Amino acid sequence: MKDILKGQWVKLAATDPEEASKSFVRWQSDSEFKRLLDSGAVGLNSTKAIKEFIEKESDQAGTNLFWFVIRSLEDDRLLGDVLLDVGRWNMREGFVGIGLGDRDFWGKGYGTEAMQLILQFAFTEVNLRRVSLNVFEYNPRAIRSYEKVGFQHEGRLRGALLREGRRWDMLFMGILREEWTARYLTTSI
Amino acid sequence: MLDIQTQLFEAQDIRLGPIDHDTHPEIESKWTHDAEFMRLMELKPVRPLSPAMVKKQYESIEKEMDEQKNLFYFTVRARGDDHLIGKAAIEWIDWTNGNGWLRLGLGAAEDRRKGFGSQVLKLLLRYAFAELNLYRVTAMVPEYNEGAIRLFQKFGFMEEIRRRQALQRDGRTWDLLTFGLLRPEWEEQAKSHE
Amino acid sequence: MKDIYRGKLVRLAVEAPEVMTKAHARWERDTEFHRLADGDPAQLWSEKKIREWIEKEMEDDPLRALRFSIRTLNDDKLIGFVGLRPDWIHADAWIGIGIGEREYWGKGYGTDAMRLIVQYAFLEANLRRVTLGLHSYNARALKSYEKVGFKLEGVLRSDTLREGRRTDGIYMGLLREEWQALQGVAA
């Protein structure tokens, strides 16, 4: 069997709280990054708090939450993280979220490939029926990337975000197992 | 003029009240034995709950209301004899952006189809927009819950998201719908009803 | 939608911890019931201990284990329990069932409850298969499971030693498609 967690440029790897918390602390000070990631007011947390959070979340790993860091294959650099959250196993639906903290790697296809890998994991290893995500209207780069991966637009919460005095929509996208299979099992990824 | 005379918790046949930890667990436990009702409300696998389990849920609801401040939970009572009809809540409130999620359900079969749902929703909307000052409210409804869909449409909600085949029950798949109503839309409605 | 809790003879219900505790304590005094139910030594526990287990189970996330009590439809008598432990990734689940009240053995009550939990597994939990195990000396159970549609999948030879005799452990399974075909209509 092939290594389903490895692509051409990146691989998904285990989250080490010690290492990840240091990177997360650095990335969180980039408010543009945080505002692309979270809908709420961005804040700053201590390394200790972030490390404890990672440890706590990792505890439920493999039951509801599958959480990886993204590393570049070339130099093993930590680029960001990606997660798959399965809240309702009976419906076999998962939610994905991705964050590329290292700005040097934005807009170059690394995030797109990491998203392809987590989808492959969701459909071939976790055996889900569909995967969903949400993304903010003011993040066209991400929307473009998700479209490229094969996510379909499923709707938008009108004006659900208030940033800098302006209302923006929150977009919802989804991909069904058959859509993924048709797209990726005929080609090789 | 500032209208604080209009009662927020009173409608024609129903009113909103708090949880009663002594008498409600018994009643709500009965509702959970109605699989059809529960499948309209819940997306996780449904199961009957004992009064003791319902009591635990009530405790965690009040704990969340108190500590997180992002949940407003009400019971729905008959104005006549005060019996428990259902529940209503505004949950997952995101204060930064002014969003809240609605949830309502009428537990006893004999209290459904009497227009109580409309009265509850009207109170909830007024509470969300005029008391909590939210900008928008959202409700998630399974495609097969036609009663709820009609109710939200009647109040001017727009279908905003259709998560294709997100639900699977009775051996087939269904879409999961999300309806939304914005404050300006609600205000427009309120004006036209005056 | 279907009333998935109600069968022909029994319904799936839930009990107050004190009611279930009393019932279990009574059933456990029946060593035949014990030895049909599992391979552990028949043992007696205090009501306090039983209640602790039951209350702990009550707190379990329903996605880990789905448990029901079994009540008769005609006189609402509590006669047993049935439950499902899903392996969500592979969409399989282990089913466990016990009819504690002896007067209800061999009369179709257990079979009816098994039909309900299997239906629940396929129509509510959306699983792909269900699995169960039994002792080879439990002929009544074997017949009942076959009636519901379970197929023999394996035998653990001589896995149990009872009263000086070695007996087999039996594994059975039922796939969703097989079950659907048995319903006559595509459910």
Q: Is A98 contained in some domain?
A: yes
Judge whether residue A189 has pLDDT over 70: no
Assembly ipTM: 0.90
Q: Is A141 contained in some domain?
A: yes
Q: Do A90 and C91 touch (CB under 8 A)?
A: no
Residues 6+ apart with CB under 8 A from A21: A47, A50, A51, A54
Cα–Cα distance, C91 to C127 (Å, whole number): 5
Judge whether residue C41 has pLDDT over 90: no
Pick from A154, A37, A131: nearest CA to A84: A131
Q: Is A3 contained in some domain?
A: no
Cα–Cα distance, C84 to A137 (Å, whole number): 43
* CATH annotation of C10-183: 3.40.630.30
Judge whether residue C23 has pLDDT over 50: yes
Q: How do residues B85-136 score in pLDDT, each as one tens digit?
A: 999 999 999 999 999 999 999 998 888 889 999 999 999 999 999 999 999 9
Cα–Cα distance, A13 to A10 (Å, whole number): 9
Q: Is A68 contained in some domain?
A: yes
**Extents of the domains making up chain C:** 10-183
Please tell me which of the candidates A90, A91, A127 has its beta carbon nearest to residue C90: A127
What pLDDT band is residue A61 in, cutting at 50, 70 and 90? low
Judge whether residue C87 has pLDDT over 60: yes
The pair of three-digit structure tokens given for residue B141, joined into one six-digit string: 């409804």
Q: How do residues B25-50 score in pLDDT, each as one tens digit?
A: 999 999 999 999 999 999 999 999 99
Whole-angstrom CA distances from B52 to B34, B38, B47, B76 are: 17, 18, 14, 21
Q: Across the strands, what pairs with B77? A: B15, B84
The DSSP symbol for B129 reads I
Q: Is A1 contained in some domain?
A: no
Q: Across the strands, what pairs with A131? A: A94, A175
Which subunits have 3 or more CB–CB pairs within 8 Å of chain C? A, B
* Arithmetic mean of pLDDT, A146-156: 98
Residues 6+ apart with CB under 8 A from C168: C135, C136, C155, C156, C157, C158, C159, C160
Q: Is A37 contained in some domain?
A: yes
Domain containing residue A85: 10-184
Q: Is A179 contained in some domain?
A: yes
Count: domains in chain A: 1
The pair of three-digit structure tokens given for residue C168, joined into one six-digit string: 């087999």
Domain containing residue A116: CATH number? 3.40.630.30
Instruction: Give the per-residue pLDDT at C187.
Output: 42
The pair phi, psi for residue A63, each rounded to 5°, is -100, -60
Minimum mean pLDDT range among A100-109, A180-189, C123-132: A180-189
Minimum mean pLDDT range among A34-48, B123-137, B174-188: A34-48
* Arithmetic mean of pLDDT, B139-143: 97
The size of chain C, in residues, is 187
> How close does chain C come to B44, measured CA to CA in Å?
8
Judge whether residue B4 has pLDDT over 80: yes
Q: Is A88 contained in some domain?
A: yes
Q: pLDDT higher for A57 or A145? A: A145
> How close does chain A come to C150, measured CA to CA in Å?
22
